[in-house]
Amino acid sequence: MLKGFTRFLSNRLKRSAEPEPQQQILTRAEHPISRSEIHEGALKVLYRLHKSGHQAYLVGGCIRDRLLGKNPKDFDVATDATPEEVNQLFRNSRIIGRRFRIVHVRFGREIIEVTTFRGQANTQNSAHHKQSEAGMLLRDNVWGNIEEDAARRDFTINALYYSIADFSVYDFTGGLNDLENRQLRLIGDPETRYREDPVRMLRAIRFMAKLDFELEAATAAPIREHAELLLQVPPARLFDEVLKLFLSGDALKTFHLLQDYQLFGMLFPASHEAFKTQPTAQALVEQALANTDKRIREQRPVTPAFLYAALLWPGLQQIWEDLQKRGTPPFPAMQQAGNRLLQRQSQHITIPKRFAFPMREIWDLQLKLPKRRGKQAWKLLSEPRFRAGYDFLLLRETAGEATEGLAAWWTEFQATDEAGQQTLLNQLGPAPKTTRRRRPRKAKPATPKS
């Protein structure tokens, strides 16, 4: 079905090729999108908006993916109704955001994101549109029509609209042509669009890896030169953007693209620096990302704390080793290194505490796991983060770090029975005796002479 659609689209576009993108309309008979494949919640939103006299379209990735023969995960809606009007139509909705006001309509666990058509800013609507001196969009709540909305979107392949009124697909920016050519192209002047929102550079990388598309030359050209624009993005926003980059199933390819376009160092500067001096640092990150891709393919869960622990480990290790060279004992050095690293990292990406705490526990376990003698091994097995710490140890060993066979020992210890575990512990020898230093006795107060 997809090959037939692609052949039809190719012939259609050849007949209508123009220097500038012309509006293209695919009627229901000319595309593969069926209402039976659209989530029920999205259909409810579309129909209610339409029956209330508003324009209603599916837009963005769901249209792009379906035309590529993929199954969309999310269905986003665009309309001429204002956020307040949408909110009034749906009791199960709420308006979110200040920078970009949108509406979330909830159906159980499913959330349909509804956006109002964006328009071009001018002096009359300056209260709803604000930019920084560097050109970054701080507020963009100027409403417009569907053509203006298409021009305000990021990539041409994401500016495709499916109408619930006539079931046609509308293209105002040449997205159908770029889909056919497997090309990723920014709408408008690339440098201006990157300045408006530097995260678009990360989105370009993500779509290149996810869709296996080529980045159009003019779209690619400014990225390396303007990589530092990412430093203007709020660090809290970048936490979620990085998860999108590495949890799409193409993390390893994404990592190499980030390096190629000089963006990785803007996100993880300490690890980027460590790659230059630590032989196994990059191998560890690559192995972690390859493992992440494998888990996603197998539909197994991926923990953000573990992912960030791996991405930050090279930088942490460098600080930790430097502190030990200056005489700080290993465990206090690990604590101090974690503090310093996260303080520096927070200027680039803010890691929420719910992930930072388990991440640090994984790091701490790398110092605890070698201490196995006596009853320590059994105590470590009962640690809440033991499994994550053990998996991280395996990762380090696979990447070539010198762990002296520690991961193999723990693998065998977990697989054997209690008698076998005791044998393994006996082979380590007795636990070293710790001598407790006695506190000096307090001097008795001198007896006053009579």
Task: List pLDDT tens digits, range 171-183.
Answer: 999 999 999 999 9
Instruction: Give the integer Cα–Cα distance in Å for 139 and 143.
Output: 12
pLDDT for position 106: 96
In CATH terms, the fold of domain 2-181 is: Beta Polymerase; domain 2 (3.30.460)
Q: Catalytic site residue 74?
A: yes
In whole angstroms, give the CA distance from residue 208 to residue 448. 87
| DSSP label at residue 157 | G
> How many angstroms separate the CA atoms of 68 and 211, rounded?
9
Q: Which of 137, 71, 82, 146 is nearest to 114 (CA)?
A: 82
pLDDT digits (tens, 9 = 90+) for 410-443: 999 999 999 999 999 999 877 666 555 566 666 6
The pLDDT assigned to 434 comes to 57
CA distance 8 to 11: 5
Backbone angles phi, psi at 258, to 5 degrees: -60, -40
Going from the C-alpha of 240 to that of each of 48, 199, 304, 308, 349, the distances in angstroms are 31, 11, 10, 12, 9
Nearest Cα to Cα of residue 305 among 368, 366, 372, 353: 353
Rounded-to-integer distance, Cα 6 and Cα 177, Å? 10
- Assign domain 264-427 to its CATH architecture: Orthogonal Bundle (1.10)
> Residues 76, 149, 250, 391: which is the catalytic one?
76
Secondary structure element (H or E) that encloses residue 189, with its range: none
- At 282, the amino acid letter reads Q
Residues 46 and 106: beta-carbon distance below 8 Å = no
172 neighbors 21 (Cβ within 8 angstroms): yes
Structure-block tokens of residue 271: 């690890």
Q: Which of 412, 370, 413 is nearest to 389 (CA)?
A: 370
Amino acid 259 reads Q
Q: What is the pLDDT of residue 402?
A: 85
Predicted pLDDT at 442: 66
Give, for all 450 residues of the chain, the pLDDT tens digit: 455 555 555 555 444 444 456 799 999 999 999 999 999 999 999 999 999 999 999 999 999 999 999 999 899 999 999 999 999 999 999 999 877 889 999 999 999 999 999 987 654 544 444 455 555 544 456 889 999 999 999 999 999 999 999 999 999 999 999 999 999 999 999 999 999 999 999 999 999 999 999 999 999 999 999 999 999 999 999 999 999 999 999 999 999 999 999 999 999 999 999 999 998 999 999 999 999 999 999 999 999 999 999 999 999 999 999 999 999 999 999 999 999 999 999 999 999 999 999 999 999 999 999 999 989 999 999 999 999 999 999 999 999 998 889 999 999 999 999 999 999 999 987 766 655 556 666 666 666 654
Residue extents of the structural domains in the chain:
2-181, 188-233, 264-427
How much is the pLDDT for 139?
47
Q: What are phi and psi of 28, to 5 degrees?
A: -55, -35
Position 428 scores a pLDDT of 85
Of 18, 61, 32, 7, the residue nearest 174 (C-alpha)? 18
The token duo for 255 is 């990592």
212 is a catalytic site residue: no
3-class SS letters over 101-124? CEEEEEECCEEEEEEECECCCCHH
In the set 80, 154, 250, 391, the catalytic residue is 154
Q: Tell me which residue has tokens 């526990």.
A: 361
Q: Residue by residue, what is the 3-state secondary structure of 69-112? A: CCCCCCCEEEECCCHHHHHHHCCCEEEECCCCCEEEEEECCEEE
Whether residue 364 lies in the annotated active site: no
- Please compute Rg for the chain using Cα positions: 28
The gap between the terminal CA atoms of the chain, to the nearest Å, is 112
pLDDT of residue 227: 97
121: tokens are: 């800013």
- C-alpha angle 160-164-169 in degrees, rounded to nearest 5: 30
What is the pLDDT, as a whole number, of residue 137? 47
